[in-house]
């Protein structure tokens, strides 16, 4: 019967996590916000590990250029929502997994609805700073367990991928800007006492030598706010080696799986930044934000 099939399907996991650990994992409800390169790999392996209730949130559609990094999408999925493509694929190997697809952008106004149901974990794989701030703030204020991905684009070295607390991230401009934005956001929300520095994140300490690609010549003179698919969203392209989002997503899945099963691992210490470098970096950031 179906239950016997599922038990055999997850048997190697159960041998690793133990019977109670596997049951805890299967009974957990996990929300993955952003199911592009990082999030699709994470959600895919949460389902393979045995998670039976997933909610996936993403407003975007599959494009040809996203096939270099998306975990499951094929050419037949181009033009369809990333959430739907992911759910279809998961159903093929895990029909017992209930995938709640929310094909919409995460926003402050929609946060309570998109995260309702008391998730055991929220996995942040958003690549837009404004929406990411809204998600991190909501989870911190409401004490929802959270794991967040920093920038996987424009990086290539898998040996420099780390887990760390938010305050300890180095060589990641996105994290530096996020900390500043999140501090301002919480101040405006009169929630300055909320601890966001201890958010656990996955990031790369590799120094990027790649920059955002310029706009195409035919739109270079246009107002950038008119070019995006949604208002205030990044319109320039980040060069991405497809392996890096996959590594980030797999690492996040491993962390969530072992935590939910009660068998967390202790990540190796991440590199730290020297005091002079911290001071110089802070001055540079303050100048840029002024």
Q: Does the pLDDT of residue 65 top 60, yes or no?
A: yes
The answer, as to whether pTM is greater than 0.95, is no
Quick one: DSSP state of residue 60?
P
Q: Across the chain, what does the average pLDDT equal? A: 90
Closest CA to 31 of 94, 68, 70, 83: 83
135 pLDDT band (50/70/90 cuts)?
very high
Output the pLDDT for position 277.
Answer: 62
pLDDT at 275 over 70: no
Q: What is the pLDDT of residue 219?
A: 41
pLDDT tens readout for residues 84-107:
999 999 999 999 999 999 999 999
Dihedral over Cα of 149, 225, 112, 88: its sign: negative
pLDDT of residue 285: 64
User: pLDDT (tens digit, 9 = 90+) per residue, 219-239?
Assistant: 445 544 444 445 555 545 789
Express each pLDDT in 191-217 by its tens digit.
888 999 999 999 999 988 777 666 555
* Range 62-93 burial, b when 16+ CB lie within 10 A, else e: beeebeebbbbbeeebeeebbbbbbbbbbeee
**Secondary structure string (H, E, C) spanning 98-156:** EEEEECCCCCCCCHHHHCCCCCCEEEECCCCHHHHHHHHHHHHHCCCCEEEECCCCCCC
């Amino acid at each position: 019967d179906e239950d016997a099939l599922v038990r055999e399907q997850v048997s190697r996991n159960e041998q690793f996590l133990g019977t109670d650990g596997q049951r805890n994992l299967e009974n957990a409800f996990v929300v993955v916000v952003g199911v592009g390169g990082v999030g699709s790999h994470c959600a895919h392996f949460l389902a393979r590990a045995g998670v039976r209730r997933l909610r996936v949130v993403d407003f975007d559609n599959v494009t040809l250029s996203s096939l270099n990094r998306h975990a499951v999408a094929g050419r037949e999925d181009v033009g369809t929502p990333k959430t739907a493509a992911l759910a279809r694929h998961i159903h093929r190997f895990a029909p017992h997994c209930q995938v709640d697809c929310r094909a919409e952008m995460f926003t402050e106004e929609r946060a309570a609805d998109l995260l309702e149901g008391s998730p055991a974990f929220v996995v942040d794989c958003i690549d837009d700073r404004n929406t990411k701030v809204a998600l991190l703030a909501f989870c911190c204020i409401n004490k929802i367990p959270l794991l967040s991905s920093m920038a996987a684009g424009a990086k290539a070295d898998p040996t420099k991928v780390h887990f760390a607390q938010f305050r300890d991230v180095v060589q990641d401009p996105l994290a530096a800007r996020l900390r500043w934005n999140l501090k301002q956001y919480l101040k405006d929300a009169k929630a300055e006492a909320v601890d966001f520095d201890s958010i656990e994140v996955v990031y790369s300490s590799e120094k990027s030598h790649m920059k955002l690609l310029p706009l195409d010549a035919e739109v270079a003179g246009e107002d950038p706010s008119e070019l995006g698919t949604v208002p205030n969203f990044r319109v320039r392209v980040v060069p991405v080696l497809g392996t890096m989002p996959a590594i980030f997503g797999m690492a996040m899945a491993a962390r969530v799986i072992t935590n939910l099963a009660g068998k967390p691992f202790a990540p190796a210490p991440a590199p730290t930044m020297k005091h002079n470098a911290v001071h110089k970096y802070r001055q540079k950031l303050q100048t840029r934000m002024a």
